[in-house]
Each structure stands twice: as structure tokens, then as C-alpha cells.
Amino acid sequence: MIAWNASFLLFGNHARSRGISSNTVFSNSDTIPVLSLNVGVAMDLKQMRQFLALAEELNFGRAAERLHMAQPPLTRSIRALEEELGAPLFVRTPKGAELTQAGQALLDEVPNVLALARRAQEQAQLAGQGYVGRLDVGIFSSGILNVIPRLLAQFHTDRPDVKIGLHNMSKADQIAALRERRITIGFNRLVPDEADIAVEWVQREPFLVALYEGHPLCVKKSITLGDLDNERMILYPNAPVHGLAQEVAAAFRAEGVRLRVEQEVEDVVTCIALVASRFGVCVTTESAANLRLPGVVYRPLRSKQLRNIELSCLYRRGDTSPILHAVLELIRASRGKFRSQ
């Protein structure tokens, strides 16, 4: 039941300065601050619809037929409403009924209340299905070079009334933000195992080597880690948690190749920019090739240790959000469809 409170509030000093009381009658030309009469009336939506049908038909028989009910229950319902309001809403006539002044006042408001109730119901249903609301997403630098924007663009096309908020975060920050419910989902690589965080793969992509134009290795169609022995290397991200830089370093050790670290930077954009400036070369992922900076050449990497790397999504384990469920459905359906372009 929705409580419908016929309340009009007097604003203290303004009302007293004009000599307004609860019995004051305003003309149309008055600027009415608000009139206060709290009658404590409760009207449910069913009563409102019955009143509206009768107010529009002005005939109990036609109104009952329109409502698919017998006339006596309708008559009793209207009479009970009038008693509760303490005012007649209709004058019974030989031809049917006519609205009283109180009935007309109620008619002016009831359609708006019913419209609001319908909208509230629709919005609740849409929210329950994940079609309205907000999706806060944790992202990272190289992840936005390919698949993440395309996934979110498709999600926005499917559910345009869901507002998407993007938050550039490190891996550790994404995990913390999930626990604090500041984001709904995150995207990252090499996500550590956490009991309360679920992880699913989104995309697998191969490794590349980024070289500057004129580097001797540019003549090769593909490159091995052995080719990078003692080369000036730029590693990223420079972060406290295990990531791509640590994977690259471990692969060099496993294959017995000397790793000469020239620079350690925080993100792929800085890394590729340094390659373009001839500071060194780097091992990166296929999506980084979308950074088509002048002076940079990409070659496939052939390595037993570094074959493919997964882009993953992470979210709170047990989260029942309809919006999250919709995103995960899209991710699962899209696996393998998005490749670097």
C-alpha cells in the first residue's frame, strides 16, 4: 500500500507574516508557499484507479465494467474512501455521478500519483534486470588499448541507461576498491588469488617486442629472448605487486638470457614513448601495437616462457548485482571475438 498524505506545509514566518492559517483559502493569484493539513489518509493504488475510472466515466455501471468488477463493490469502495477523507467526492444523480469540489481536487492529483507509481514500478523492474543503474569499472593503461573499450561500448549499446564510470587503478587498488564497493568490476593481468575475489579470463593475447626504427633486430620477422641478450630493456609496470615486469624478468632467467634494465616505468604508454625515443626496447603485449607511435616497430616474440598473457576481469565473489551479471554474460559471449586491430 502506498500512503497518500494530503499534506500542505505552512512555512512558519512567511505564513504568519501574511496571517495565513490552516483555514485560509487562496485565490489563483496567490503565491501559495504551501498549505498544511495532515489528514492521515491512506489510499492504495487500487482505490486510486477505481476513483479515476469513476471520475472519468461519471457512471458507476460503466466504471465497474471498465474495471472488470461488479458495481456494488465499487460503490462500497468509493463510499469508504469518502468516509476516510471526510468529504463527498461525487454527487449521485439519476444519470450517474458528478464530481464535487473535493472530487475535482483529488482528480487533479491522482493521475500524477498513478503515473509516478507506474514509473517507480518500471524503474524497479529495469534495475532488477540490470538495465538501469551504474557500473563502476577499474581499468589500467594497456587494457584500454583494445578489448575493454570495445566491451564497454557494446554494453552501453545494449543498456544505454546504465551509467558507466571508469577509474584508472593499479591492480592492488582495484582489489581494494572491490572490497570497499567503490567499483563493480576490474580488468587487469596476472591477478593474485584472493579468497573473496573472483577472476575470469577475458582475452588471451601474444607477446610482442617493441623496437625503434633502425634497430638491427628490425630485419627479423620474429624475435626470441636470446636475441634480446644484454639489450637495453624498458620494463613496465614498476609496481609492488607481481606483474608483467616480473614475468619478463623471470622468463629471461629461465632461458639463461642476460636482462639489462635501462628504465622501469609505470605504464605502457610511457614505455612505448621511450622506445620511440630510442631509450631501448621492450617486451609488451599485442594490444600495445595499437599505440602506433612514429618510430616504433613491433615484432612477434617467440619464447617458451612468454607465449600468451591473459587479460582478466575481477569482481566480488558472491556479488548478485544484475548489472555485474549482464557484464559477465557479455564478457563470456565475447571471448575470442576481439583481436587487436
What single-letter DSSP state applies at residue 193?
P
Q: How many domains does the chain have?
A: 2
21 located within any domain: no
Whether the CB-CB separation of 212 and 281 falls below 8 Å is answered with yes
Final residue of a domain: which of 78, 109, 128?
128
Put simply, whether the predicted model's pTM sits higher than 0.95 gets the answer no
d(CA 104, CA 90): 9
d(CA 40, CA 25): 21
CATH number at residue 157: 3.40.190.290
Same domain, 174 and 92: no
In order, the DSSP letters of 225-238 are: TGGGTT-EEEE---
End-to-end CA distance of the chain: 56
18 located within any domain: no
Give pLDDT, residue 259: 96
Final residue of a domain: which of 80, 104, 128?
128
Same domain, 142 and 106: no
Same domain, 266 and 337: yes
Whether the CB-CB separation of 64 and 49 falls below 8 Å is answered with no
Give pLDDT, residue 42: 64
- Residue 237's CB: how many other CB atoms inside 10 A? 23
For the chain, the C-alpha Rg in angstroms (whole number) is 34
292-330, pLDDT tens digit by residue?
A: 899 999 999 999 999 899 999 999 999 999 999 999 999
According to DSSP, the β-strands at 260-264 and 232-235 are parallel
Same domain, 88 and 180: no
Q: What is the mean pLDDT of residues 96-107?
A: 93
Interhelix angle 322-334/147-158, nearest 10 degrees: 120
115-171, pLDDT tens digit by residue?
A: 998 888 888 887 887 898 999 999 988 778 889 999 999 999 999 999 999 999 999
Cis ω for the linkage preceding 237 (within 30 of 0): yes
8 located within any domain: no
214 located within any domain: yes
**Percent of the residues in the chain that have a pLDDT greater than 90, as a whole number:** 70
Confidence class for position 40, pLDDT limits 50, 70, 90? low
19 located within any domain: no
Per-residue pLDDT for 17 more than 80? no
Same domain, 197 and 54: no
Confidence class for position 332, pLDDT limits 50, 70, 90? very high
CATH number at residue 109: 1.10.10.10
Same domain, 160 and 64: no
- Residue 295's CB: how many other CB atoms inside 10 A? 14
d(CA 284, CA 276): 14
What is the average pLDDT value for the chain, to the nearest integer? 85
113 located within any domain: yes
28 located within any domain: no
Give pLDDT, residue 43: 74
Interhelix angle 101-128/45-57, nearest 10 degrees: 130
Taking the CA atoms of 312, 318, 324 and 326 in sequence, report the sign of the dihedral they define: positive
162-175, pLDDT tens digit by residue?
A: 999 999 999 999 99
Same domain, 113 and 214: no
Could you tell me which residues are beta bridge partners of residue 74? none
Confidence class for position 237, pLDDT limits 50, 70, 90? confident
102 located within any domain: yes
Final residue of a domain: which of 80, 111, 128?
128
Q: What is the mean pLDDT of residues 277-301?
A: 94
Whether the CB-CB separation of 331 and 189 falls below 8 Å is answered with no
Per-residue pLDDT for 37 more than 70? no
Question: Whole domain around residue 226: which residue ranges?
Answer: 133-341
Same domain, 69 and 202: no
Whether the CB-CB separation of 52 and 92 falls below 8 Å is answered with no
Same domain, 95 and 163: no
Same domain, 114 and 140: no
Same domain, 173 and 72: no
Task: Give the residue among 204, 208, 211, 209 at the shortest CA–CA distance from 190.
Answer: 204
- Give the list of residues 6+ apart from residue 219 with CB closer than 8 angstroms, or none: none
Same domain, 219 and 86: no
Task: Give the residue among 138, 167, 145 at the shortest CA–CA distance from 268.
Answer: 145
Taking the CA atoms of 153, 154, 160 and 166 in sequence, report the sign of the dihedral they define: negative
Give pLDDT, residue 185: 98
Task: Give the residue among 130, 164, 158, 160 at the shortest CA–CA distance from 144.
Answer: 164
